[in-house]
Amino acid sequence: MKLVENKSLTAFNTFGISVFAHFFSSFSSKDELEELLGFAPAPPLVLGGGSNILLTRDIDGLVLKNEIRGIELVHEDEEHIYVKVGAGEVWHSFVLYCLGRGWAGVENLSLIPGSVGAAPMQNIGAYGVEIKDIFHELEAYAIDEKKMYTFTCNDCEFGYRESVFKGRYKDRMIILNVTFRLNRQPVFHTAYGDIRQELEAMGVKDLSIQAVSQAVIHIRQSKLPDPKVIGNAGSFFKNPTVSSGKFEELKVSYPTIVAYPRPVGLKLAAGWLIEQCGWKGFRRGDAGCHAKQALVLVNYGHATGKEIYDLSEEILSSVNEKFGILLEREVNIF
Ligand code: EPU
């Protein structure tokens, strides 16, 4: 644990945006965190994998990188395995750990960039599974009260890319570890999108969690840019939900509109809306809209956070003008 002054954050955000933190340190235990918080007059910016933020300015205060490690089997019964994981573990490494032991539940969430601690903040999801489906509980440190709290699935109030940690506990709680409930017997989720076709193309006869994981990895690699090569933070916007009335109205003018029924209304594919506005593959300077998935904004090298943000504003306006839908950003802006 070492407090560093004027630290570049380029390597700590997957957009690869060059900004500086006035003070920076990492912590690998609750005690180290408490000591560091003693130096900070204001809540720090805590980074996990830095894979869901857009940094638009230097950070005046303290930036902390969560490096709490460890994967521990805490309980098992006939059906489930309960595993407690340090928030600083890399998400995909944890997925591989589970696959290696035949523990099911995380295979559809393969290759999502970021850390374990950041995963519940926005209830990460992909290919028909969300973290809430395998979540048991987490422990978080309350900055003001200087005390630990345990959150159950209900306490987290998980929604689509939402939780209390993005809402009312933003800047107030720091997630230190997460306990997952994994399955001994897999329950396969292969209905989403291209998974079944991909499994067929792979020649898979006997379904396994390893095969599903490979299929997801192939699909992700085919349309999502690798942040190690092109800076990005995954989906920049959320898929919006509209009423059935609004959907019927849009369908008259846009018969190919992509929509998924929800308990109330329909969820629209924001990528489709953005593509229809002509942004897919757009590039200005080093800021762009990915050529294979319009929902992903990219930094080709030296874009500033503001350039990416301004592009997102233009995209928001044009989608609103054409479809009368106000998209919401999924990525956290600082
Ligand atoms: N589409 C287009 N044009 C585009 C992009 C998508 O027409 O440029 C259409 C596709 O053809 C498809 C539909 O939109 O019919 C959905 O596309 P896709 O399956 O790629 O998923 P998505 O809705 O765009 C969501 C998540 C992703 C997640 C995938 C798979 C959000 C905001 N994004 O994207 O999550 O990987 O589903 O489950 O919900 C992330 O959160 O960072 C992320 C990548």
What CATH number corresponds to the domain at position 89?
Answer: 3.30.465.10
Query: Nearest residue CA, atom 5 of ligand 1?
Result: 271
Mean pLDDT of the chain: 97
129 lines ligand 1 (CB under 6 A): no
Residue 317 has pLDDT above 80, yes or no: yes
**What local confidence, expressed as pLDDT, does residue 69 receive?**
98
Give the model confidence (pLDDT) of 252-310 as tens digits: 999 999 999 998 999 999 999 999 999 999 999 999 999 999 999 999 999 999 999 99
Q: Are 80 and 62 in a shared domain?
A: no
| Chain segment 24-44, per-residue pLDDT in tens | 999 999 999 999 999 888 899
Label residue 45 by pLDDT band (50, 70, 90). Answer: very high
State whether 268 and 319 are in the same domain: yes
Q: What is the spatial distance between Cα 217 and Cα 260, in angstroms, rounded to a whole number?
A: 23
Domain presence at residue 225: no
pLDDT for 40 equals 84
> What CATH code is carried by the domain that includes residue 290?
3.90.78.10
Give the CA distances from residue 12 to residues 55, 75, 91, 105, 306, in Å, rounded to whole numbers and listed in that order. 10, 34, 15, 28, 17
Same domain, 43 and 91: no
Q: Does residue 241 sit within a domain?
A: yes
Is 169 found in the same domain as 116?
A: yes
Q: Which pLDDT band holds residue 176 (cuts at 50, 70, 90)?
A: very high
Query: Which residues are catalytically annotated?
Result: 161, 235, 330
For the Cβ of 40 lying below 6 angstroms from any atom of ligand 1, the answer is no
Q: What does the alpha-carbon distance between residue 39 and residue 88 come to, in Å, rounded to a whole number?
A: 21
Q: Are residues 100 and 31 in the same domain?
A: no
Same domain, 172 and 158: yes
pLDDT at 161 over 80: yes
Structurally, the chain folds into a number of domains equal to: 3
Residue 39, pLDDT score? 82
CATH of the domain at 49: 3.30.43.10
| 108 touches ligand 1 (CB under 6 Å) | no
Please state, in angstroms and rounded to a whole number, the distance separating the CA atoms of residues 109 and 90: 13
Backbone angles phi, psi at 215, to 5 degrees: -60, -45
Q: What is the pLDDT of residue 158?
A: 98
Q: Same domain, yes or no, for 80 and 23?
A: no
78 shares a domain with 62: no
Ligand 1 nearest-atom number relative to CA 52:
42
219 is a domain residue: no
Residue 217 lies in a domain: no
- Domain assignment present for residue 270? The answer is yes
Per-residue pLDDT band at 149 (split at 50, 70, 90): very high
Q: What is the mean pLDDT of residues 91-116?
A: 98
Q: Is residue 164 part of a domain?
A: yes
Q: Are 60 and 121 part of one and the same domain?
A: no
Q: Is residue 271 within 6 Å of ligand 1 at its C-beta?
A: yes
Residue 236 beta carbon below 6 angstroms from any ligand 1 atom: no
pLDDT tens digit sequence for 210-263: 999 999 999 999 999 999 999 999 999 999 999 999 999 999 999 999 999 998
Ligand 1 center to residue 306 CA distance, Å? 24
- % of the chain beyond a pLDDT of 90: 96
Distance (Å) from CA 21 to ligand 1 centroid: 33
Atom of ligand 1 nearest to the CA of 193: 19
Give the residue whose CA is nearest to atom 25 of ligand 1: 126
pLDDT of res. 270? 98
pLDDT at 57: 98
Phi first, then psi, for residue 268 (nearest 5°) are -100, 150
State mean pLDDT over 180-202: 95
Residues 110 and 179 grouped into a single domain: yes
Q: Which of 111, 320, 58, 325 is nearest to 234 (CA)?
A: 111
Are residues 27 and 49 part of one domain? yes
Closest residue by Cα to atom 41, ligand 1, is: 235
Is the CB–ligand 1 distance for residue 330 below 6 Å? yes
Residue 193: pLDDT band (50, 70, 90) is confident
Where does a domain end: 15, 47, 66? 66
Write out the residue range of the structural domain in which residue 266 sits.
231-333
Amino acid 324: pLDDT: 97
- CA R_g for the chain: 20
Range 159-163 average pLDDT:
95
* CA 1 / ligand 1 centre spacing (Å): 39
What residue owns the CA closest to ligand 1's atom 28? 126
* 98 pLDDT more than 80: yes
- Domain identity same for 78 and 166: yes
pTM confidence score: 0.96
> Would you say residue 87 has pLDDT above 80?
yes
